[in-house]
Amino acid sequence: MLGLVTIGQTPRPDYEAAFRENAPGVDFRVVGALDGLTADEIEALSERPGDFPLHGLLADGSTCDIQQETLGPLVDQCMRDLVANGATAVGLLCTGRFHDFDPGVPVLMPGKLLPAVAGAIAPSRRIGVVAPIESQIAPMRELWEADGFTVTLAAASPYHDGENAAAAAVMADAAPDLVVLDCVGHGPSSRDEISRLSGRPVLTAQTLLAKVAAEIVAA
């Protein structure tokens, strides 16, 4: 069984659909780091300070931004619970650059997969990166530049309608060799829209994670 952890809450039918399509036959379970928490508890978490806010979807359709260092222990516990319940590998449904988790099984982290694949696809290392929120742009620039990329950044939430077009316009003007959607919430529809409007090829964390998981988890 493949365990999957989102930084928000479940259910996540979009993630379930992505894994059914791209990892056919793989048994998986999706849990949320914020599952079972009240609105007040989530609000308290969102008020904690930090350097890298992460953008999550809640069960009621609203969104929250909580610092990566605040979410880390919650994600870690979810992974350990999944392994205790039979997961032979776990995947993080977030591109955040967390510390290395060690639940005792392989851990798939899109934050590591994306730069590796982007560097292989775009050897010039001129890329565009779409963050989910404006407050991620500065720290995300530092991360991608530290990985050796020349980066054009824009923001578009996968959970707020109408934001993809503005991000695509930025990418069309910059004409990078590749656009990376640096948020697992962005699925094929975002990929197709941003590629069509920008005229650039697009790499999607959601699909990449599912396809890599299909390679390492026995059906």
pLDDT digits (tens, 9 = 90+) for 154-183: 999 999 999 999 999 999 999 999 999 999
Topology annotation, domain 2-108+207-216: Rossmann fold (3.40.50)
The CATH number assigned to the domain with range 112-205 reads 3.40.50.1860
For 8-56, the pLDDT digits (tens) are: 999 999 999 999 999 999 999 999 999 999 999 999 999 999 999 999 9
How far apart, in Å, do the first and last CA atoms of the chain sit? Answer: 9
Give pLDDT, residue 219: 52
In the chain, residues under CATH classification 3.40.50.1860 are: 112-205
Q: For residues 134 and 36, what is the distance between their CA atoms, to the nearest angstrom?
A: 28
pLDDT per position as a tens digit, 189-219: 999 999 999 999 999 999 999 999 999 886 5
d(CA 197, CA 208): 21
pLDDT at residue 198, as a whole number: 98
